[in-house]
Amino acid sequence: MNRLYDFFRRHPMWVDGFWAVLLLLLSAMWLLASLDTDSQGLPRGPKEQIASIPIALALSTVVALRRRVPEKMLLLAIATGVAQLVTNVEPNPGNFSFLVIIFTVASRHTRWASRVALVGAVVAPTLTVVRWPSPGGSISNDIFPTVFLTITFVLAWVMGDSLRTRRAYYAQLEERARRLEKEREAHAQIAAAAERARIARELHDVVAHNVSVMVVQADGAAYVMDTAPEQSRQALETISGTGRQALAEMRRLLGVLRTGEGGAAGAREGGDAYVPQPGVEQLAELVEQVRGTGLHVDFGIEGTPRPLPSSVELTAYRIVQEALTNSRKHGGPDVGANVRLRYGGEQLALLVEDDGRGALHELYQSGGKDGLGHGLIGMRERVGMVGGILEAGPRTGGGFRINAVLPLKAAD
């Protein structure tokens, strides 16, 4: 039964063709039964007999093609009804096609055709009764058929218009569902891009800082290897510790990209793959690590330390890390840096400056000479994510200054 229903839905023209043929057969039977006399027993003229055949064919055509060209079939039905009135061809089974075309046109979105069909539904029954009154000529006998036919035709139009409304509602729901699906895909892509950017910033900070420390220590160890073996050993230990720290942070970041068993496997393999994200409490360790590379850093905290949002802590740590890395890379020989962390009532202020040559502002903005670094771009993105303000530029008298203000309430 379901297969038969699906077949009818896939081939609606076949269904209409079947009903058109059935309607034509019923009209032919009616014509044969009333070939010589009409419903009142009066002899039928040759004009009426000849006109009955094309009228029956036209009404069957209206049913057969109502889905493909409903507006044209409506005009054909109107023309056929006028011809039926003019040639005095009495109502017959073929006139059922008027109900069908009124319903079909009302269910479509062509409003002028629907209005014409409604006018026809109201006027046609009255014209029919006036053209072919009931036997005896009593007006009271014609009122009931007129009212009944009018209600029937108007109900056909109402049912068609209701079907049009439901179709429009379902189409609107489908369009809304498609739009929501596209919006979900767009949001997912935006979220994925934001996550990739976050991981890229984290990797940049980890690699840029730790690798630069390792390079400086390796150069120092190679320089004093023959004259000061103990210093060389300490430098190698620093390189080893820095490398392990960088590896742990990279494992943590790459672990974000894993899901399910892959993430669990990564945790089992790396033990410390999911270490906590660094915060302001680790700034002292960061400063000591940088001092070990030969960069003199003056570190101070103002105000009363207190727990901070994790996003603010990570942002503060990465800003200091990036700023000290750039001071070491671009500050020149014998450069000194100053780091100040100030706790306020509703904000956390950061000041990182050096007294060296200082990298050019354009270097930070463009991402470095090779165009591959992040510089101030990454800093601004981090500060912007927590709703803060970043000011950076050359100092008066030389060097570079980075000043960041991170609001605590916005981060919460």
The 8-class DSSP code of residue 93 comes to G
36-63: per-residue pLDDT in tens? 555 555 555 566 678 888 999 999 999 9
Q: Is the pLDDT of residue 326 over 80?
A: yes
Q: Tell me the mean pLDDT in the region 81-87.
A: 90
The whole-number pLDDT of residue 278 equals 80
- At residue 394, what is the residue type? P
Q: Output the pLDDT for position 222.
A: 80
> In angstroms, rounded to a whole number, what is the distance separating the alpha carbons of residues 52 and 88?
9
Q: Which pLDDT band holds residue 193 (cuts at 50, 70, 90)?
A: confident
Distance between CA 33 and CA 35 in Å, rounded? 6
pLDDT band at 350, cuts 50/70/90? Answer: very high
How many CA atoms lie less than 13 Å away from 68 in the CB half-sphere? 12
Highest mean pLDDT among 141-145, 266-270, 320-324: 320-324
Say if residue 373's pLDDT is above 80.
no
Which among 304, 354, 294, 367 has a CA at the least distance from the CA of 324?
A: 354
Pairwise pLDDT comparison (362 vs 189), residue with the higher score? 189
How many Cα atoms sit within 13 Å of 155 on the Cβ side? 6
pLDDT for the residue 79: 94
Q: How many CA atoms lie within 13 A of 391 on its CB side?
A: 7
360 contact partners, CB below 8 Å, separation of at least 6:
394
pLDDT at res. 375 = 63
Among 24-28, 73-77, 241-245, the range with the most confident prediction by mean pLDDT is 73-77
pLDDT value of position 245 = 72
Q: Which amino acid is at 91?
A: P
pLDDT surpassing 60 at residue 81: yes
Higher pLDDT, 402 or 363: 402
Mean pLDDT across 289-300: 85
Confidence of residue 75 (pLDDT cuts 50, 70, 90): very high
pLDDT given for residue 5 in this prediction: 66
How does residue 12 score in pLDDT terms, banded at 50, 70 and 90?
Answer: confident
Query: Backbone dihedral region of 368: left (phi > 0), alpha (psi from -120 to 50 degrees) or beta?
Result: left
- What is the rounded distance in angstroms from the CA atom of residue 109 to the CA atom of residue 215? 74
> Is the backbone of residue 223 left (phi > 0), alpha (psi -120 to 50) or beta?
alpha
pLDDT bucket at 252, cuts 50 / 70 / 90: low
Residue whose token pair is 């942002």: 315
Question: Phi/psi at 275 (nearest 5 deg)?
Answer: -70, 155
pLDDT in tens, 297-313: 999 999 888 888 888 88
Side-chain-facing half-sphere of 151: CA atoms under 13 Å: 6
pLDDT interval class at 340 (50, 70, 90) = very high
Query: Percentage of the chain with pLDDT > 70?
Result: 79
Range in 73-82, 121-130, 202-211 with the lowest mean pLDDT: 202-211
Higher pLDDT among residues 202 and 285, named by residue: 285
**Mean pLDDT of the 262-270 span:** 41
Q: How far apart are CA 72 and CA 56, in angstroms?
A: 17
166 pLDDT above the threshold of 90: yes
